[in-house]
Structure 1
Amino acid sequence: MPATLHTSHIKSLPLLHNGKVRDIYDIDENYMLIVTTDRISAFDVIMPTPVTGKGIILNDVTQFWMNKLSHIIPNQMCDTKLEDVLPDAAERAEVTNHAMVVKKLKALPVEAIVRGYIIGSGWKDYQATGAVCGIELPKGMQLADKLPKPIYTPSTKASVGAHDENIDYSQSRDLLGADIAEQVRDVSLQLYQA
């Protein structure tokens, strides 16, 4: 069984960010190293007890879907190997199977969420307003009901310690500009359908 990785300790690369689950290191102007830890985040809160192996599984799932869906939209995956950026065997051993080298891309200030079922924060919104992110839904829906069709429900992308907030499409347009907001919505729905 692998050792639990709560926080990575790479000294040979500058730390860019400790997220809720991922630690991100700078490699150069084109690449960065993302380490998926065993930390658990639920409802934007980092839980005190990590789950051994969770980071490895999440890392594998991320790589699987990025490879499988790259025909819909290019992503940040690259061919650079971990040993190319972490030549020190001890540093590499700590994060092996938890880490991937990726291209640096500019993150968008929204999280692109597609819902096929009414649950989570969408359920809370629906109970209060009958809508999710401004999208009116049928009356009388129950928790976890399937939606008539998938809906795009963006949110803000909160920093550590803050909570993501659901926003409507027009607010995402204000944040991203009309062209990018439309592309993000359309690609998100395509990815969900795939």
Structure 2
Amino acid sequence: MKHLHSGKVRDLYLTDEGHLLMVASDRVSAFDYILEPGIPDKGAILTQMSLWWFDQLADVVPNHIVQPGPDKRSVVCKPLKMVEVECVARGYLTGGGLAEYRATGTVSGVALPPGLEDGSRLPEPIFTPSTKAPMGEHDEPISFEQVVELVGAETADKLKEITINTYKKGAQIALDKGIIVADTKIELGWDSNGVLTLGDEVLTPDSSRFWPASEWQPGRTQPSFDKQFVRDWLTSPESGWDKASGTEPPALPAEVVDQTRRRYLEAYERLTGHSFTA
């Protein structure tokens, strides 16, 4: 097979049949750096969770899956012409959205009520797109109007509708399992028939923020089942790393690697109801 591309987490190959083989590695990224070491079994967990979600969301949006791959970390999928917009939906306020709200009272141009805190539930889920920056550069929030300028009004409306509907269904399914989906990012592209199609991964701990519903408490940092645990360690005094320094982050300690793996496993098993086997 011909190697086409390696991203932060996934490697892409062209098969003899003209399909794509997408292989999820155990690499973990944060703040646009690929960190060392990887998280054992992470690639397989992400792939199996995405496959489960693609089935749950089949009535919301078509997906790119042709069949599972030769191992648990890979899938065979249709090639898509990807949209050059990161499609993000938020149901709760945290992270970069919270920082923008504190500065402007808005997120991606969407005005929000005053007085919201870290972890506040929003009145309705909102579409907060961003640019799709090359690896090593930062995605930047953009308004819906800017999306219209990039892709046209009709496509912009479809991106917003699919993103919000994907979030709403996924968030309700997860809440029934005791998990809050605070926000999520999805990748959309056109298939060979011109149909907007869900690609890459969906509703995983890499692309979403997962919080235990029983511990949700606005006004503080929420416990999580995602790689926020890695981000929090990197920005803590314990890591000794200055995010603004431009230097490579330090290696992750064994305890951080193990705790991150445990969080990914718990998210998978809570959501799907299946025990994970590598």
TM-score range, shorter chain: 0.7 to 0.9
Q: Once superposed, which parts of structure 1, at least 4 consecutive aligned residues long, lie more than 3 Å away?
A: none
2:103 match: secondary structure = helix
DSSP 3-state at the match of 2:154: helix
Q: Are 2:12 and 1:37 equivalent residues in the alignment? A: no
How many residues are paired up? 169
Going from structure 1 to structure 2, the CA distance change for 1:30 and 1:14 (only over 3 Å counts) comes to closer
Residue among 86, 90, 94 paired with 1:119: 94
In the alignment, structure 1 segments of 5+ residues that lack a partner are 1-12, 84-95
Whole-Å separation in 1 of the counterparts to 2:77 and 2:84: 19
Which residue of structure 2 lines up, in the alignment, with residue 64 of structure 1? 52
Partner of 1:164: 139
Calculate the aligned-residue CA RMSD, in Å. Answer: 1.4
Tell me the CA shift for residue 30 of structure 1: 3.8
Residue equivalent to 2:113: 138
| AA aligned opposite 1:185 | K
Aligned counterparts of 1:29 and 1:175: Cα–Cα separation in 2: 33
Normalised TM-score (structure 2): 0.59
Q: Determine if the alignment matches structure 1 residue 177 to structure 2 residue 152.
A: yes
Structure 1: distance between partners of 2:14 and 2:84: 20
1: CA distance, partners of 2:96 / 2:17: 37
Check 1:174–1:30 CA distance in 2 against 1; reply closer, same or farther (3 A cut): farther
Matches within 5 A, 1:78-117: 78-79=66-67, 82-83=69-70, 96-117=71-92
Deviation at 1:15, TM superposition (A): 1.3
Q: CA deviation at 1:116?
A: 0.4
Per the TM alignment, residue 41 of structure 1 is displaced from its structure 2 partner at its CA by 1.3
- Are the structure 2 counterparts of residues 56 and 82 from structure 1 closer, same or farther at C-alpha, using a change threshold of 3 Å? closer
* 3-state SS in 2 of match to 1:158: coil
- Counterpart Cα distance in 2 of 1:153 and 1:28: 38
Unpaired segments ≥5 residues, structure 2: 170-278
Question: After superposition, where does 1:9-48 map in structure 2 within 5 Å?
Answer: 13-28=1-16, 30-48=18-36
1:8 equivalent in structure 2: none
Post-superposition Cα deviations, 1:60-114, rounded to whole Å, max 9, x if no partner, equal 11111112111111110113x535xxxxxxxxxxxx2111000001111011100
Q: Displacement, 1:174?
A: 1.2
Q: TM-score, normalised by structure 1?
A: 0.83
The corresponding residue for 2:202 is none
Identity rate of aligned residues, in percent?
Answer: 40
Write the distance in 1 (CA, Å) between the matches of 2:7 and 2:16: 20
Tell me the CA shift for residue 29 of structure 1.
7.1
